[in-house]
């Protein structure tokens, strides 16, 4: 069973008859950990690039997090083996690696911690993981309770995997003084120039115990023996062997002996993480475990509480109550949390892609606008003098552009006004336009206003003779890398997106009193829209682009990649599509792209390489960009639908983005409704068996746009130069809803209700009708009570 806990603090997976692979994640300023219901875990921290302290058993490639990465027997994990000392029977909490399906089982994914409750054979085990608000460590509580009606004797073995730390140097031993297992390694390198980088790495992994263990084992091979990780031979012995690891794979395994009377319980606390040296572990021990009885100061508990506050600080600006409980829970609890995670950690990258950085920070406009503001200025400070934006934004002095950021993409500029507009709507802080920011690597400076003009002008000039924007080696779609690598191919989507960006920028200019400039960009938007309609309207929908060899693609005569979602939604946003075109493209999307799990990015998915389109056509059909329900694309479309007043369509698709609840959905999609993944497997018409599966990746530009859909669209509580513009687009099926909106320091409480006799939306503040739906003259700390009357079937 899957359900939200009573106070919505957790999402709970309870007593399944088969074990899914759902996961939750925690993060802080310095690290991220994804733990799944079985006990597997992926944790990364920054030094400055992502690093691990619990490794795979083989040499793992350093790369971005992989979609749908399978778990396997020796996957890193945090396990508690339990052995009944009377009969030798063994199970492990939470589930792996022994895989005894417990009699009772709950996996409770919370915002600031994640818990498992396991009942098996008269013993209750409760495991809780949380993080401190900074620092890189896992704080674990393990509670064991005797719920059988007799005295019981158990051994409990926390076994936290460390894995193959390094081929250069790895070892591990129990440190009596620290009461910790300390595993040491040296990050391999071959060039002496890298020594300076690695010498200060936190290459040790430790498991620090509050309570003195009965015994321990640090040598993974000695621990497992021939029994294997699922039935370790060492557990057959009275005591673990107190072994060490010398250039052998270490494990942090401890043993505690428990004699528990009926209903007696005992709690243990552990800290697991990386460290530079023993001194650092000693300091952590002092801070979290020592002195607590003498001074009453409990560093561990305080850290837990601090972390709870840290996460709570990331709440959004909406609190909703609607007939859709699943949506309420996602919007009130999980969505802002995921958005906050993006804004705080920048996806644990030192060089986030520019478009990601801007969109992730767009989301921070709804949580901590100052963070968004700083980020926009930081990004612009890396703009080139010619107006173009780099492919990634460097966040750390030692960082460099890596992976995909070494491939030139042409869309980064469009995100500047688009993302900025959300910030301006939310804050009305037009002063940002006057901020003076340098260009990349130079002493020359310009105002934000000038910077963005330059960016827009770069888009105007990076075009072919028809007025279509060059795609080079990719636009928003990274792997569309061979459409224009010869320098001729163009992106239909980017041309449309440019039109939309010009329109948005024209609007911002106008509101800022720059009327002439506003006019210029309005005209540019119109021109671009004309060009789109001239070259890319295929009769029933818009084409995706034109290749280096002048072949239009994403059109009806293509057998694969016939229709692309982004080309349709953005033509609604930019205004390129007229009413007839709109009707046609809506129909085409519904017929060809919509699936039970959302709207797909393109269809039919490519099943073989198309060399004039590129890498996207080689990706697995239904995966990532090749026909997946790629939520980032889907949400643009939903946003466009709201913009176009297509509220029923929009809500239907929005709703498909939230998984579950329900075990069937978790088994198919593989996740709880605690985050929106970057994609669900698509190609529904081609490979229905696997459609709907979650990528399990929670890094995605989707989330800030989902939030923007709620603010600007569904609940229609968007900021405006004049105040709060209230124009909700509730689905017909909702007869009422309420929204608490934090806005520019005020609280706005909105009750929405359909009423017979009402013919169009009526907005009242304290009983007074707001004729244009705009709440004006908003005062800080004020409370506004808004009543919205809606007609039925509007």
Enumerate binding residues for a copy of itself (CB under 8 A).
18-19, 56-63, 66-70, 72-75, 99, 101, 164, 167-171, 186, 189-192, 195, 199, 220-221, 226, 228-230, 246-249, 403-404, 406-407, 473, 478, 481-482, 485, 609, 611, 614-615, 618-623, 681, 687, 689-690
Kindly tell me which of 99 and 466 has the beta carbon lying closer to a copy of itself: 99
Quote the tokens at residue 418: 């688009």
Q: What is the closest distance, in whole angstroms, from the C-beta atom of residue 74 to a copy of itself in the complex?
A: 4
Q: What is the closest distance, in whole angstroms, from the C-beta atom of residue 755 to a copy of itself in the complex?
A: 50
Q: What is the closest distance, in whole angstroms, from the C-beta atom of residue 602 to a copy of itself in the complex?
A: 15
Cβ neighbours of residue 772 under 8 Å, at least 6 residues apart? none
Paired residues of 491 in beta bridges: 545
Kindly tell me which of 681 and 741 has the beta carbon lying closer to a copy of itself: 681
Q: Chain-centre distance of CA 229, in angstroms?
A: 32
Q: What is the closest distance, in whole angstroms, from the C-beta atom of residue 693 to a copy of itself in the complex?
A: 8
Rounded distance, CA 484 to CA 499, Å?
A: 20
Kindly tell me which of 21 and 315 has the beta carbon lying closer to a copy of itself: 21
In our burial notation (b when 16+ CB lie closer than 10 A, e otherwise), range 376-390 reads bbebbbbbeeebbbb
Phi-psi category of residue 35: left, alpha or beta, with phi > 0 → left and psi -120 to 50 → alpha: beta
Kindly tell me which of 174 and 535 has the beta carbon lying closer to a copy of itself: 174
Residue 720 designated active-site: no
Cβ neighbours of residue 461 under 8 Å, at least 6 residues apart? none
| Catalytic site residue from 391, 478, 558, 612 | 478
HSE of 469, CA atoms in CB hemisphere, 13 A: 32
Q: What is the closest distance, in whole angstroms, from the C-beta atom of residue 139 to a copy of itself in the complex?
A: 27
Paired residues of 13 in beta bridges: 2, 107
Q: What is the closest distance, in whole angstroms, from the C-beta atom of residue 164 to a copy of itself in the complex?
A: 7
Rounded distance, CA 407 to CA 81, Å?
A: 47
710 by DSSP, 3-state: which?
Answer: helix
Q: Crossing angle of helices 415-427/369-380, nearest 10°?
A: 150
Kindly tell me which of 62 and 785 has the beta carbon lying closer to a copy of itself: 62
DSSP state for residue 468 in the 8-state scheme:
P
12 by DSSP, 3-state: which?
Answer: strand
Kindly tell me which of 101 and 325 has the beta carbon lying closer to a copy of itself: 101
Rounded distance, CA 178 to CA 171, Å?
A: 17
Kindly tell me which of 64 and 214 has the beta carbon lying closer to a copy of itself: 64
Kindly tell me which of 167 and 792 has the beta carbon lying closer to a copy of itself: 167
Cβ neighbours of residue 771 under 8 Å, at least 6 residues apart? none
User: Could you count the other beta carbons within 10 Å of the beta carbon of residue 190?
Assistant: 7
Containing 457, the helix (H) or strand (E) segment is helix 448-461
Rounded distance, CA 791 to CA 794, Å?
A: 6
Q: What is the closest distance, in whole angstroms, from the C-beta atom of residue 171 to a copy of itself in the complex?
A: 7
Q: What is the closest distance, in whole angstroms, from the C-beta atom of residue 485 to a copy of itself in the complex?
A: 5
Residue-wise DSSP of 218-241: EEHHHHHGGG-TTS-GGGGSSS--
Q: What is the closest distance, in whole angstroms, from the C-beta atom of residue 355 to a copy of itself in the complex?
A: 16
Q: What is the closest distance, in whole angstroms, from the C-beta atom of residue 229 to a copy of itself in the complex?
A: 6
Residue-wise DSSP of 278-300: HHHHHHHHHHHTTTHHHHS--HH
Using an 8 Å Cβ cutoff, are 541 and 552 in contact?
no
Q: What is the closest distance, in whole angstroms, from the C-beta atom of residue 791 to a copy of itself in the complex?
A: 46
Kindly tell me which of 105 and 485 has the beta carbon lying closer to a copy of itself: 485
Kindly tell me which of 41 and 506 has the beta carbon lying closer to a copy of itself: 41
680 preceded by cis ω (within 30°)?
no
Q: What is the closest distance, in whole angstroms, from the C-beta atom of residue 690 to a copy of itself in the complex?
A: 5
Q: Chain-centre distance of CA 253, in angstroms?
A: 32
Quote the tokens at residue 527: 């021109």
Rounded distance, CA 544 to CA 469, Å?
A: 12
Q: Crossing angle of helices 448-461/369-380, nearest 10°?
A: 60
Sign of the dihedral defined by the CA atoms of residues 27, 378, 64, 252, in that order: negative
Rounded distance, CA 601 to CA 613, Å?
A: 15
DSSP state for residue 610 in the 8-state scheme:
B
Q: Chain-centre distance of CA 59, in angstroms?
A: 26
Kindly tell me which of 29 and 248 has the beta carbon lying closer to a copy of itself: 248
Kindly tell me which of 59 and 769 has the beta carbon lying closer to a copy of itself: 59
Q: Chain-centre distance of CA 21, in angstroms?
A: 18
Rounded distance, CA 461 to CA 450, Å?
A: 16
Containing 741, the helix (H) or strand (E) segment is strand 736-743
Kindly tell me which of 199 and 785 has the beta carbon lying closer to a copy of itself: 199
- Length, in residues, of the chain: 794
Rounded distance, CA 679 to CA 326, Å?
A: 19
**CB-based contacts of 229-235 (< 8 A; 24+ apart in sequence):** 229/73, 229/74, 229/97, 230/73, 230/97, 230/98, 230/99, 231/90, 231/98, 232/81, 232/159, 235/81, 235/83, 235/90, 235/155, 235/157
Q: What is the closest distance, in whole angstroms, from the C-beta atom of residue 471 to a copy of itself in the complex?
A: 12
Rounded distance, CA 29 to CA 144, Å?
A: 31
Task: List, by residue number, the catalytic residues.
Answer: 478
């Amino acid at each position: 069973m899957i359900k939200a806990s009573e106070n919505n603090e957790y999402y709970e997976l309870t007593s399944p008859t088969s074990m899914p692979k759902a996961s939750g994640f925690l993060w802080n300023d310095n690290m991220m950990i994804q733990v799944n219901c079985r006990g597997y875990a992926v944790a990364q921290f920054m030094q400055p690039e992502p690093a691990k302290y619990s490794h795979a058993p083989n040499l793992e490639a350093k790369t971005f997090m992989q979609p749908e990465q399978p778990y396997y027997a020796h996957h890193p994990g945090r396990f508690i083996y339990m052995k009944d000392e009377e009969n030798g029977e063994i199970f492990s909490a939470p589930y792996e690696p022994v895989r005894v399906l417990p009699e009772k089982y709950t996996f409770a994914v919370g915002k600031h911690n994640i818990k498992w409750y396991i009942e098996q054979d008269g013993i209750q085990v409760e495991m809780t993981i949380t993080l401190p608000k900074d620092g890189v460590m896992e704080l674990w509580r393990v509670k064991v309770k005797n719920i059988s009606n007799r005295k019981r004797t158990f051994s409990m073995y926390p076994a936290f995997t460390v894995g193959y730390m390094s081929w250069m140097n790895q070892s591990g031993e129990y440190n009596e003084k620290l009461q910790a297992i300390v595993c040491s390694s040296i990050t391999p390198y071959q060039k002496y120039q890298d020594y300076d980088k690695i010498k200060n790495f936190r290459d040790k992994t430790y498991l620090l115990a509050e309570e003195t263990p009965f015994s321990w084992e640090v040598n993974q091979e000695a621990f497992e023996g021939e029994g294997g990780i699922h039935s370790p031979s060492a557990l057959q012995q009275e005591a673990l062997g107190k072994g060490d690891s010398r250039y052998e794979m270490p494990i942090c395994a401890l043993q505690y002996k428990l004699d528990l009377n009926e209903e007696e319980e005992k709690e243990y606390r552990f800290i697991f993480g990386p460290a530079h040296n023993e001194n650092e572990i000693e300091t952590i021990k002092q801070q979290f475990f020592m002195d607590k009885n003498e001074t009453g100061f409990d560093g561990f508990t305080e850290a837990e509480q601090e972390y709870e506050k840290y996460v709570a600080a990331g709440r959004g600006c909406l609190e909703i109550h609607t007939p859709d409980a699943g949506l309420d829970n996602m919007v009130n609890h999980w969505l802002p949390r995921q958005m906050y995670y993006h804004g705080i950690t920048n996806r644990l990258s030192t060089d986030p892609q520019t478009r990601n950085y801007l969109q992730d920070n767009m989301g921070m406009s709804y949580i901590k606008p100052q963070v968004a503001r700083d980020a926009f200025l930081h990004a612009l400070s890396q703009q080139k003098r010619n107006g173009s934006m780099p492919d990634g934004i460097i966040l750390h002095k030692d960082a460099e552009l890596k992976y995909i950021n070494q491939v030139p993409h042409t869309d980064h500029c469009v995100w500047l006004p688009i993302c900025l507009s959300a910030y301006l709507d939310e804050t009305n802080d037009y002063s940002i336009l006057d901020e003076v920011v340098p260009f990349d690597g130079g002493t020359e400076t310009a105002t934000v206003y000038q910077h963005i003009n330059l960016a827009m002008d770069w888009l105007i000039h990076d075009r072919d003779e028809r007025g279509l924007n060059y795609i080079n080696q990719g636009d928003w779609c990274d792997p569309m890398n061979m459409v224009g690598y010869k320098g001729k191919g163009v992106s239909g989507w980017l041309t449309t997106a440019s039109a939309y960006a010009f329109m948005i920028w024209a609007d911002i200019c106008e509101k800022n009193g720059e009327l002439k400039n506003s006019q210029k960009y309005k005209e540019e938007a119109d021109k671009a829209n004309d060009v789109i309609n001239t070259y890319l309207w295929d009769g029933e929908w818009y084409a995706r682009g034109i290749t280096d060899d002048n072949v239009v693609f994403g059109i009806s005569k293509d057998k694969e990649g016939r229709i692309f979602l982004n080309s349709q939604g953005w033509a609604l946003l930019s205004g390129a599509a007229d009413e007839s075109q709109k009707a046609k493209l809506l129909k085409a999307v519904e017929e060809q792209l919509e699936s039970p799990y959302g709207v797909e990015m393109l269809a039919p998915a490519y099943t073989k390489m198309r060399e004039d389109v590129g890498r996207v056509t080689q990706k697995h059909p239904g995966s990532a960009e090749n026909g997946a329900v790629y939520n980032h694309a889907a949400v643009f479309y939903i946003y466009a639908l709201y913009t176009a007043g297509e509220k029923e369509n929009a809500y239907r698709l929005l709703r498909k983005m939230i998984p579950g609840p329900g075990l069937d959905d978790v088994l198919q999609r593989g996740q709880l409704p605690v985050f929106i993944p970057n994609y669900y497997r698509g190609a529904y018409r081609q490979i229905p068996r696997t459609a709907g599966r979650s990528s399990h990746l929670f890094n995605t530009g989707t989330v800030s746009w989902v939030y923007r859909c709620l603010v600007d669209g569904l609940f229609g509580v968007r900021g405006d130069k004049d105040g709060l513009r209230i124009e909700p687009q509730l689905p017909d099926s909702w007869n009422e809803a309420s929204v608490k909106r934090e806005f520019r320091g005020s609280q706005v409480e909105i009750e929405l209700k359909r009423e017979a006799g009402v013919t169009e939306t009526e907005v009242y503040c304290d009983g007074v009708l707001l004729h244009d739906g705009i709440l004006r003259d908003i005062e800080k700390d004020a409370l506004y009570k808004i009543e919205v009357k809606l007609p039925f079937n509007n």
